[in-house]
């Protein structure tokens, strides 16, 4: 009987080739049916954020993505390839997302029907509704926000109290909240005002009632209507300023809120060349609103929030601020230097945003109190991630915990800066040292076999 060592060398090589081919086919089948991927970039920019995956799990049905783009763009090149790779991140977690490309020049009827305005525009469809995204703003935050808007099964009604000089969610003045209102509308919320002097009561279909700082006193009957809304389990976003409550003291007492007089002074904000009456938010205790939220927010003219001991409410601090600051009833004016007065001022840190939660008749009631109405005002909303935090608050108040928006991810590893010495070392290593090493290794092997 012939041993394997005496087999024909050609047969032995054929057997080895067949084994190698079989192993390659097996690996291919394994990779096709059980794909394994790993993202080793510093900020995981080749994978989705946990919040985006939560949104995808909420979508119970197919999503259609249609991109109106040419094969090549004069400024961006092959944008189809970039979009295909980007949408693939979502398809990895939700396979029923379909992606189609249409050339605007070849499909003019579809372009008119979809009201396409630019090359590369993306139309996202779900549940009979659609959202448009345009280049260059097609990124994870934008697409996930569009999916959040489409995921709202019905229009959530957000009403803001008016009639006392309050900030308006549809106003354009510097102190109004118009930019915040626009963001909510893009996410599927419906915005309306509510004059309690005219309305019989707060409508039962209100998802979130927004109360901002009044400039004149509320009528007792108006306060009664808000109190009934709160007693019956209504959800409230209350934006407080360091000013008199003008009749809303009973609401603060009913919620167990303790409002320290004065304005929060934050020396850390002053070091960042912000006014001394600004407070920076950077410490967010664990909560659904602040999950995965680690960006800076700015709270101008903030007041400190405290709470009483209560068996009815579950309190949670959302923003801890001014660890080196204090609360002063006499804040500096005209950007003058702030100084701590130990005889009158209250040392920090302080809570400037707080959530309250309880069960009413088997349903969760949620309230958020923020000690700064200015942080969502048109003048200041663009500072830091104020709007993102405000939207998170409204999503949580409307019981859309899984639809918390995500801030843009910092691309720390997007570029590499090398010195001339480092560049020279890499070039010499790749194009000189490595080829020489390979040639020497090959020569050594050849010489050994020859001998």
Whichever domain contains 369, its CATH number is: 3.40.50
Within-domain flag for 429? no
pLDDT in tens, 390-426: 999 998 999 877 666 555 444 444 455 666 787 787 8
Domain-located, residue 20: no
Strand arrangement, sheet containing 263-265: 263-265, 326-328, 346-347
| Domain end position, chosen among 122, 149, 176 | 149
Q: Is residue 440 part of a domain?
A: no
Task: Say if 267 falls within a structural domain.
Answer: yes
Q: Do 143 and 270 belong to one domain?
A: no
Report the distance separating Cα 306 and Cα 303, nearest Å: 10
Size (the chain), residues: 451
> Is the pLDDT reported for residue 41 higher than 60?
no
Q: What is the pLDDT of residue 153?
A: 55
Confirm whether 15 is domain-assigned.
no
Helices (H) and strands (E) in the chain, counts: 12, 18
Per DSSP bridges, beta strands 236-239 and 297-300 are: unpaired
pLDDT tens-digit series, residues 64-102: 999 998 887 767 677 888 889 889 999 988 999 999 999
Q: Is residue 14 in a domain?
A: no
pLDDT at 334: 61
Is residue 341 scored above 90 in pLDDT? no
CA distances from 445 to 394, 439, 441 (A): 70, 10, 6
In a domain, 426, yes or no: no
Residue that is last in its domain, among 125, 149, 173: 149
Residue 347 CA, distance from chain mean position: 32
How many other C-beta atoms can be found within 10 angstroms of the C-beta atom of residue 358?
15
Based on the fold, state whether residues 220 and 285 are members of the same structural domain: yes
- Contact 65/87 with Cβ under 8 angstroms? yes
Structure tokens at 395: 């999503």
Domain coverage including residue 80:
50-149
DSSP run (H or E) holding 10: helix 9-33
Q: Same domain for 184 and 69? A: no
Most confident stretch, 5-14, 35-44, 155-164, 217-226: 217-226
Six token digits for residue 375: 């942080």
143 and 185 inside one domain: no
């Amino acid at each position: 009987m012939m041993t394997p060592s005496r087999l024909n060398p050609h047969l032995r090589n054929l057997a080895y080739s067949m084994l190698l081919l079989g192993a390659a086919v097996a690996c291919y089948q394994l990779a096709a049916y059980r794909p394994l991927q790993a993202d080793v970039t510093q900020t995981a920019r080749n994978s989705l954020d946990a919040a985006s995956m939560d949104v995808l799990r909420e979508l119970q049905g197919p999503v259609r993505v249609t991109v109106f783009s040419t094969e090549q763009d004069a400024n961006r090149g092959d944008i189809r390839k970039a979009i295909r790779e980007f949408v693939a991140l979502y398809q990895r977690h939700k396979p029923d997302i379909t992606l189609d490309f249409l050339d605007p020049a070849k499909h003019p009827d579809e372009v008119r029907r979809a009201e396409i305005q630019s090359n590369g525009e993306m139309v996202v469809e779900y549940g009979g509704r659609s959202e448009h995204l345009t280049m260059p703003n097609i990124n994870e935050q934008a697409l996930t926000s569009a999916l959040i808007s489409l995921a709202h099964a019905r229009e959530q009604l957000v009403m803001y109290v008016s009639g006392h000089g309050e900030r308006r969610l549809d106003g354009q003045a510097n102190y109004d909240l118009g930019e915040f209102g626009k963001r909510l509308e893009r996410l599927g919320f419906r915005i309306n005002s509510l004059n309690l002097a005219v309305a019989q009561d707060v409508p039962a279909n209100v998802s979130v009632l927004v109360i901002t700082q009044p400039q004149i006193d509320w009528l007792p009957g108006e306060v009664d209507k808000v109190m009934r809304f709160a007693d019956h389990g209504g959800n409230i976003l209350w934006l407080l300023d360091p000013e008199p409550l003008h009749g809303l003291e009973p609401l603060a007492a009913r919620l167990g809120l303790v409002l320290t007089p004065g304005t929060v002074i934050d020396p850390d904000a002053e070091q960042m060349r912000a006014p001394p009456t600004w407070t920076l938010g950077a410490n967010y205790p664990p909560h659904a609103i602040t999950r995965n939220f680690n960006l800076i927010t700015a709270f101008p003219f903030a007041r400190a929030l405290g709470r009483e001991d209560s068996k009815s409410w579950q309190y949670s601090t959302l923003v801890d601020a001014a660890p080196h600051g204090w609360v002063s009833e006499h804040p500096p004016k005209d950007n003058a230097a702030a100084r701590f007065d130990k005889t009158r001022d209250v040392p920090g840190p302080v809570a400037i945003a707080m959530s309250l939660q309880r069960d009413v008749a088997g349903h969760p009631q949620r309230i958020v109190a923020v000690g700064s109405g200015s942080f969502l005002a048109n003048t200041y909303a663009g500072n830091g991630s104020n709007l993102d935090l405000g939207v998170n608050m409204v999503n949580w108040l409307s019981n859309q915990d899984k639809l918390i928006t995500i801030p843009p991810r910092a691309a720390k590893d997007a570029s590499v800066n090398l010195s001339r010495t480092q560049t020279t070392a890499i070039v010499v290593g790749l194009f000189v040292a490595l080829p020489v090493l390979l040639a020497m290794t090959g020569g050594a092997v050849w010489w050994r076999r020859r001998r």
